[in-house]
């Protein structure tokens, strides 16, 4: 069955272009022009992945509100923000809400389709029984990490990290005990316009996910002015 992709974009031309490009890749696409339209569609059926603009009509933060609503219904739903709002505070807000990716407009339609395909593969791998056991995971103390499959577990329990978070964690644990610079962690995000504050936000999110599973987790250490260190 074809995966269902939802697009929420108030510009009709952009909405049509996105929908056409994505449907040509074999996906079923539902496109909405407003927050209210999207909510009605999501009430009927949740998609497998959602692409959100932030400003929808007169609602300047509608995309953020939709993201909160969607993740309250399905915590592991892949959400991509696709927006002209590229200020750091907006990117940080999107990451804190739990978005899997934050892409700036304008964007190559081929690149957007590849990002969708990549995130869906990650989600499928996480939902496949036994995927962690079949992977080529690296073990560091209580941590198991397979960067290729983007699978992470702590003390035998899976932790759902975004692709960016897994890549950053992989850099951090490559040589346990060694400090990893902000620049190295920025390269791991595979994103443009990344600052130290963006990295700090990612690291806070990673810590919170580990701490939710293990209240005594304290392996990620901050190296003031330089970066971070994994110490277990």
Contact present, 41 and 6 (Cβ < 8 Å): yes
Domains of the chain with CATH codes = 4-125 (3.40.50.2300), 131-230 (1.10.10.10)
Strands 28-32 and 101-104: unpaired
| Rounded Cα–Cα distance for residues 49 and 5 (Å) | 5
H-helix or E-strand spanning residue 70: helix 62-73
Residue 29 CB coordination number (10 Å): 21
For 9-66, what is each residue's pLDDT tens digit?
A: 999 999 999 999 999 999 999 999 999 999 999 999 999 999 999 999 999 999 999 9
For 91-115, what is each residue's pLDDT tens digit?
A: 888 888 888 888 999 999 999 999 8
Max distance between CA atoms of the chain, in angstroms, equals 52
């Amino acid at each position: 069955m074809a995966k269902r992709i939802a697009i929420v974009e108030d510009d009709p031309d952009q909405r049509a272009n996105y929908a056409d490009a994505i449907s040509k890749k074999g996906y079923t696409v539902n496109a909405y022009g407003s927050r209210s339209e999207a909510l009605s569609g999501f009430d009927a059926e949740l998609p497998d992945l959602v692409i959100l603009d932030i400003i929808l009509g007169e609602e300047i933060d509608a995309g953020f509100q939709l993201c909160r609503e969607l993740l309250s219904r399905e915590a592991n739903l892949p959400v991509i923000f696709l927006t002209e709002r590229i200020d750091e505070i907006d990117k940080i807000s999107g990451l804190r809400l739990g978005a899997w990716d934050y892409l700036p407009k304008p964007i190559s339609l081929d690149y957007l389709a590849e990002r969708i395909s990549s995130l869906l593969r990650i989600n499928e791998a996480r939902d496949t029984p036994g995927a962690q056991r079949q992977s080529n995971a690296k073990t560091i103390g209580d941590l198991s990490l397979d960067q290729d499959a983007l699978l992470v577990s702590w003390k035998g329990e899976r932790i759902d990290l975004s692709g960016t978070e897994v890549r950053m964690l992989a850099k951090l644990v490559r040589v346990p005990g060694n400090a990893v610079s902000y620049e190295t962690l920025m390269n791991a995000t595979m994103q443009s316009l990344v600052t130290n504050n963006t990295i700090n936000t990612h690291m806070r999110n990673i810590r919170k996910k580990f701490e939710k599973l293990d209240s005594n987790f304290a392996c990620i250490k901050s190296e003031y002015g330089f970066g971070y260190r994994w110490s277990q």
